[in-house]
Structure 1
Amino acid sequence: MDRIPQELALDILSRLPIPSLVQSKSVCQDWSTLTHDQLLVNKHFKQMVENDPSFILQIMGYSIQNQLYFGDLSSDPNDGNVTMIAKKLTIPPLLNFHLVSSCNGLLLLRATHPSFELCIYNPFTRDYIELPKLSRHDGVRGFGFDPTTKKYKVVEISYKRTTPFTFSHRVVRFGMRRSHQTETSSSSLIESEVHILTVGSPTWRNLGCFPFRFMWQKSQVLVNRKLHWRTTTNLIMSFDLATEQFKEVPRPDVITSNSDRRFHELVILRGCLSAVSFDGNNQELEIWVMKEYAVKDSWVKQFNIGAYVPKIFQSNYQCHSSSNSRFYLPKNCIQVLCLLRNGGILLQYGNKAIVFYDSHCRTFQDIQVTFEGISSCFTAVAHVASLNSTDTFVDA
């Protein structure tokens, strides 16, 4: 090891898949020391970001929900079939938990534990940190890295009702921006109460209330160092982790508060903020991509994906008509996972199937997901594995 220049050693190690890199720590003391080097952490992470993402899968089931798996895609060179082998991960000693989000190789877990409710966990280094409790009702959460302070932050948004009211026009101030929005209601206004925690701090901070209700999303959308949510009024709102302010993000012209077309979900596709919607009869899934962040005219409808039902569901669904062999699933059963380097899109259908969509040939291929010892319902989150920990940071 002494004969290899450190720069070359770092370059070699940075190209290893994360399981092999973790195993290399036991080769010798020098290699173990190198795996804690911040230069290697950053270099390895940047290499992984350029590749297709891996996935963290959580099994869903009353008796086995406390289990995480790491999934990597692989293709057979002979027939081109894509498979995912899901390998069991070691988990922290929690009574029960739910996978919330992933950021820089770290997972945010919502736990059932006597002393804490949230923790941050790296499933490969097995480091985890317990976060202070916050007395609140369940809402939506976000987790990200603040580049100005080099700290991680967790955002928790809960809801409360104010007194009954009726209004037709309201001027709302959020951050330093004024937004005019028209709403009519004769019931109680539901406001979002926002708390934020800088990881390492002993207490949460209350940022106040905002007149928006954010929609729960299966996976967080962290783009341009801002968290994003859609609201019940079909707006896109961002939260800047540095300034800790909300701001409305322009949406595609096809999506308006008064139109029948609404967002199904927000996603990240190769680093771009993207919006998923369905047409009026819910048969075609549209994906709009914001090519230049916060520029309204940069929204492009990049994908149109037709109706499809994976084989695992087909026995439970009848054909749409006697002359049409296609099957249909409700739109809320479909989640866009990621855009691959080859232009293909990974979709999750329900909690049982992952499908590869070839955007060039407009074909679908069911991906066989193989678990070690069990096969069950699952939820999947795109994940870039790293050696990162909460007391270091990835300079992404």
Structure 2
Amino acid sequence: MESRDFNLDIIFEILSRSSLKTLAKCGLLSKEVNSLTYQSAFMNLHCQRTKTISGYFVQSLSYNKFSSTFVDNICSDYKLSLDFLRVPVKIEASTSQGILLCRCNRGTIPRYYVCKPSTKEWQIIPNPKTRYFNELFAMIVLKSNPLHYRILQEVKLSFGEFLHSEPTVSVCGSVHWLTTKDNILAFHEDIENYSMFSLPSPIYESDSYGYKKLTEYEGKLALICKGRDNSFMDLWVMESYGKKEWNKRQRINIESLREKEKFTNPYDFYNVDVVMMRGFYNVIFFKFKNGNSADIVRLHENFNLMDTEVFPFKSDFEPSNLKKGKKKKIKENGLGVS
């Protein structure tokens, strides 16, 4: 065994017992270490050893009422829900630290909650002072202990350009939205400012793509582009965030999924081997590197996944400093994005 492989084996053992916070920092050590933490075998073992959870809150609107369910591909023993809030809520934003921003529309004035579902902790926060009827929200955790976070300010786009109503993608210390004109709007936490940049020309000039979705891949900003004939999807990764350099990593054949689900849309890469797909009533974890096999999660009949929102969710089970049922002044508080 080469020393390099031996060192990676040791790193594998150490990191598989590390916290999510430590794992995120160690991913900056090298490309090899970063790639290791996104492997299926590693994620499975890390989940078992550290009692952490990684999956998605799937949210649907039925009879003017929002409901959500949690799905994952590894830690099926953990059944998360938002029932502990005791009121129907709409998830507005999620973070990679296991914190959700939710809104309750019961009564004449909405009420906003910040909660950690894995520990059932929650608190009411002051209502954001938004100027528009429809808002999109993003949330950044600045510090986990004690918990400090930011809900982002409103911004204005050019005439005729809008944000896709999808949860934000948070990578490289920034949060990102895809716009209707194939641009990416980013908020950079370190400089507290926004920027706008376009997709690479092969993407927005191509007629072969019928669906585009921002996502994260190995800690980098990425884009999933599905073919109009529903037979393939391409993975584009921003290899250099500073230079805005994109690279087409691979083309994934999804024709085999038609036998299981006639129409699907890719949503997110669960890890480097599995992509999470949405059907009409199913969530599909498509193992494209393992013989094109798939695990199908059947949802409640009220969940039509073509009209739902999906929020990526990672969390440990360590208590935060959220105070159950009590209002707390937020150290850094902004507004929703419109």
User: So what's the TM-score if we normalise by structure 2?
Assistant: 0.65
1:111 aligns with 2:85: no
Q: CA deviation at 1:63?
A: 6.6
Report Cα offsets for 1:346-378 as digits up to 9, x if no partner.
Answer: 323235222232333451313345x8xx66526
Distance 2:165 2:234 in 1: 18
User: Partner residue of 1:141?
Assistant: 137
SS in 1 for 2:202: coil
Task: Check 1:69–1:368 CA distance in 2 against 1; reply closer, same or farther (3 A cut).
Answer: closer
Report Cα offsets for 1:50-98 as digits up to 9, x if no partner.
Answer: 54652243463637955544444349xxxxxxx687454433143x322
Distance 1:311 1:259 in 2: 28
Distance 2:231 2:116 in 1: 39
SS in 1 for 2:118: coil
C-alpha contact 2:184 2:196 (8 A) present in aligned 1:
yes
C-alpha contact 2:275 2:288 (8 A) present in aligned 1:
no
User: Partner residue of 2:195?
Assistant: 247
SS in 2 for 1:140: coil
1:215 to 138, 163, 176: 163
Distance 1:146 1:214 in 2: 27
Q: Which amino acid is the alignment partner of residue 123 of structure 2?
A: Y
SS in 2 for 1:128: strand
1:102 aligns with 2:102: no
C-alpha contact 1:223 1:273 (8 A) present in aligned 2:
yes
2:126 to 103, 126, 131: 131
1:350 to 266, 269, 279: 279
Identity %: 16
SS in 2 for 1:211: coil
Counterparts of 1:1-396 in structure 2, within 5 Å, are: 44-46=19-21, 50=37, 51=43, 54-58=54-58, 60=60, 62=62, 67-74=67-74, 86-94=79-87, 96-103=88-95, 104-114=97-107, 115-125=109-119, 126-133=121-128, 134-146=130-142, 151-155=148-152, 196=153, 209-211=156-158, 213-249=161-197, 251-256=199-204, 258-260=205-207, 264-309=212-257, 313=261, 328-329=262-263, 333-340=264-271, 343-368=272-297, 377=303, 380-386=310-316, 387=318, 388-389=320-321
C-alpha contact 1:221 1:268 (8 A) present in aligned 2:
yes
C-alpha contact 2:103 2:110 (8 A) present in aligned 1:
no
Q: CA deviation at 1:105?
A: 1.0
SS in 2 for 1:255: helix
Larger radius of gyration: 1
C-alpha contact 1:252 1:299 (8 A) present in aligned 2:
no
SS in 2 for 1:141: coil
Task: Check 1:240–1:389 CA distance in 2 against 1; reply closer, same or farther (3 A cut).
Answer: farther
Task: Check 1:295–1:99 CA distance in 2 against 1; reply closer, same or farther (3 A cut).
Answer: same
Report Cα offsets for 1:233-274 as digits up to 9, x if no partner.
Answer: 211221113433221345334123x44356611011231100
C-alpha contact 1:143 1:154 (8 A) present in aligned 2:
yes
Give the root-mean-square deviation of aligned CA atoms: 3.8
C-alpha contact 2:113 2:122 (8 A) present in aligned 1:
no
Distance 2:312 2:297 in 1: 17
Give the total of aligned pairs.
Answer: 272
Distance 1:111 1:351 in 2: 26
Report Cα offsets for 1:5-39 as digits up to 9, x if no partner.
Answer: xxxxxxxxx989xxxxxxxxxxxxxxxxxxxxxxx
User: Partner residue of 2:12?
Assistant: none
Distance 1:367 1:271 in 2: 25
Gap runs ≥5 in structure 2: 1-14, 25-36, 38-42, 45-52, 323-329, 333-338
Gap runs ≥5 in structure 1: 1-13, 17-42, 76-82, 156-195, 197-205, 314-327
Distance 1:74 1:117 in 2: 33
C-alpha contact 1:265 1:276 (8 A) present in aligned 2:
yes
Distance 2:125 2:110 in 1: 6
Distance 1:306 1:110 in 2: 36
